[in-house]
Structure 1
Amino acid sequence: MEVFSMGSRKRETYQVEVKHSLLWEAALGIAAITNERLLDTLDYTENQWQAIKQSLSADMLVHLETVQEQNTWKTILLLLHEKDMDSLQEFNDFVNELGEEELRYMAIPYLGKNHQEDRRLASQGDREAVARLQEASRDHAFFPRYISYISQRDLHQLKKHIQEVMSGWYESVIKPDQAKFKGILERDALSKNKRLEKLEAEDFVEWATHGIRYIPEPSVYKVILIPHFIYRPWNVEADIEGAKIFYYPVANESIHPHDPNVPDQMLVQKFKALGDENRLRMLKILMGGGRTLKELTEEIGMGKTTVYHHLKLLKSARLIVAYGPRYHVSPRAWEMLPKELEIFLGEEK
C-alpha cells in the first residue's frame, strides 16, 4: 500500500556553526603527532614531523608520551568547547580556575543523556560510576582507559600536564608560523560560511567534510565544524551535549589563495591512493564485495601490516569505508570522482 504525505513540513535537521581557533589547531597537532597508527597517512612528511620533534624540549617530549598513553589531547579539546578562548593565556587561566570535580566532569566524554548522572558521579570519584561509563564505552578505542585515567589522576598533576603540553606545542609549533596558520584557518572558515548560506545543513556538512553524510540524531541540535591544517586529510569526530563536532581538513585553496590552478586536496588524495598497483588490486577485490583485513591478506598474498597500511591510505582518500571489521568500496566516491576531475580541469581560470 502506498503512503502519501499530506503535509509539507520538512524533516527536522540541525544548525551548523563554523568556528576556528589556533588553540584547536594546537590541540589537533598534539593529537596527530601522538597517533602513530595514522602518522604516515597525514599530509605532513616524516621529515616535517621529525623537525617538530627536534624543536620540542625534553620535558615536552615526556608530556607527549603521556598524551600517547592516555589520550589527554581529548581533555584539551573538550575544555576548549566549554568557553570561547582566543589565546593561550586565556586557556591556561581557564584551567587554573577549574575545581577538581568541574575539571573531571568536563574531561569525561559525553556518552549520551542516559549516562550524564554517572558522568557527574564519576567526576566526584565514584568508582562504580566509572565502571559503568567504561562498560558503556567498551567498544571505543580508548575511552575506557581514558575515563579511568581522568577520574584518578591527581588534579594538580593533571592541570600541570594539560597546560605544559599545550604551552609547549603552541610556543614551538604554532607561534613561529602563527600568521600562516591564522590566515589558512580564517580563509577556510570564511569560504565555508559563504557556502553555508547556499546549502542545506546536511549537504553542507557532506561537502565540507568530503563525504560525511551526517543524518540528524535525537538531541543533536547543532553541528560544529572546525577547520584544521595539521591533521589533514582526516576528519576527527566528537560529541558534546547537544552537538556533533567535525574537525575537518582545510581546502587547498585556503592554503594557496593566490594560485588559481591549485586542485582540491581530496582530489589529489584520491589519485595518490590510486597510483599504486597493490591498492588497485585491493580495490578490484573489494568491488566484488566487502572483505575483512584477514580475508584481504589471504586473498592478495601480502603481509597483514602492509595490507593494513594500504587500506589506511584508501580510507583516508574516502575511496573505501569500514563497517565493523569489513572494508567496502564507497559507491559515492566512485560516482563523484570523474565529475570532480571534470570540474577541476574544466573550470574557467
Structure 2
Amino acid sequence: MKIAFTNVDFKSFTGPNQFSFKLATQFEAMGHDISNGLTDEDTDINLVIIESFNFPENVPTVLRLDGIWFKPDDFMTKNAGIFATYNEADGIIFQSEFDKKMIEKHFGARDDIPTCVIRNGTFVKKFDTENIDLEWLNNIRNDFNKIFVASSQWTNRSHKRLHEAIRFVDEYTKWDGYERCCLITMGESDKFEALTETKYSDKFTQIHLGNIPPAQTYVPYCYADWFIHLAYLDHCPNVAVDAIACQVPVICSSEGGTRELLFNSDKRKLGLIINEEPFDFELTDYTNPPKMTFTEEHFSIVRNGYDLQKDWVKHVHVKNVAKKYIDFFNEVKIAYKYRQ
C-alpha cells in the first residue's frame, strides 16, 4: 500500500510528529511505500495528521486526530482547520475514546464514513539496566528506595500538573516515613533549570534533566519504579506509552484519555488511576485544573509496586498499532470506492 503522510515533520520532537515517525517506520518495515506529502498519483491513502487544506481527488483521506482546543474562548476559531478537515475526511482515527466523545459532542458525529479509535504505540523495549553505563543513574538507584519519572513539556502548560506530581511524591514520603524517593523530571520547564537538583526533604529529591532527545528518554524509564503523569484531560500521551513499553507502571488521572492506556487487551490494569470529579465533556478552561486528592490507598499501592510483564504491554507496540491502521485503511478504501 502507498501511504502519504500529510502535515508531518518527521524530524520534529513534538508528540504527533514523533508518533508519525514511528508509525511510518513500522509501515516501511511491513513493506508499504511511504511518502511525506502527496507525491504519487497512485497513492492509496492520504493520512492527514491533525489538519490539512489539501484534499486530493481520487485518493481517500484519513484524518488522524489529536485533541481539539476545548476552552470556551475562540473555540471555533482555534479549531477551524481541524473542523474543516474533519468534515472533508473519508475516514477518521481518534487516538482515545475520550477524544472521540469530546470531538463528536462538539463537531457532530461522522456517521457517513468509517471511524475508529486507535491509541498510540511505540517501539517496545526493555533495557538491561546493568549494561547502561550511567554513573549518576546508578547512584540514584543506590541512594533511593523509590524512583518516579515524569516527562512533558511543562512551560506554560499548567494542565500537565507538574506541581501535583511533586506534591504526590512529597506526600507519599511523609506517609511512608521510611523510603527515600527521587522524582526525575524531563522536558522544558520555566520553573526548573536543566540538570538541577531540588531537595524538598531528607527523603525527597527532584532531579530535573530538561530537554533530552526522545531516544534517550527510555533510559530513565528503565530505572523507574513508577511513571507519574497527572495531566488533566490529556489525550493519549506518548510519554505514558513509552513508559508502559518499558514495563513501568503509570500513575494518572481518571479523567482524559491517559487512563485508557492502562488497560491492555486482557483488561489487565497497568498502574494506578486516581479518581477525580467526572468530566462532563463541556467546553472548559482545562489549563486551570482542580486539585487532586491523594489517599492512603494510593500510597499503599505505590509502596507495594507493580511488576509489569513483557506480554502485558503488547498493546502499545507500534507493530500492533500499525496493523490496526492498515486494517482501517482497507475499510476506508472499500467505503470510498462504494461512495464514488
TM-score band (shorter)? under 0.3
Query: If each structure's strand is expressed as a fraction of its own residues, which one has the higher value?
Result: 2
Query: If each structure's helix is expressed as a fraction of its own residues, which one has the higher value?
Result: 1
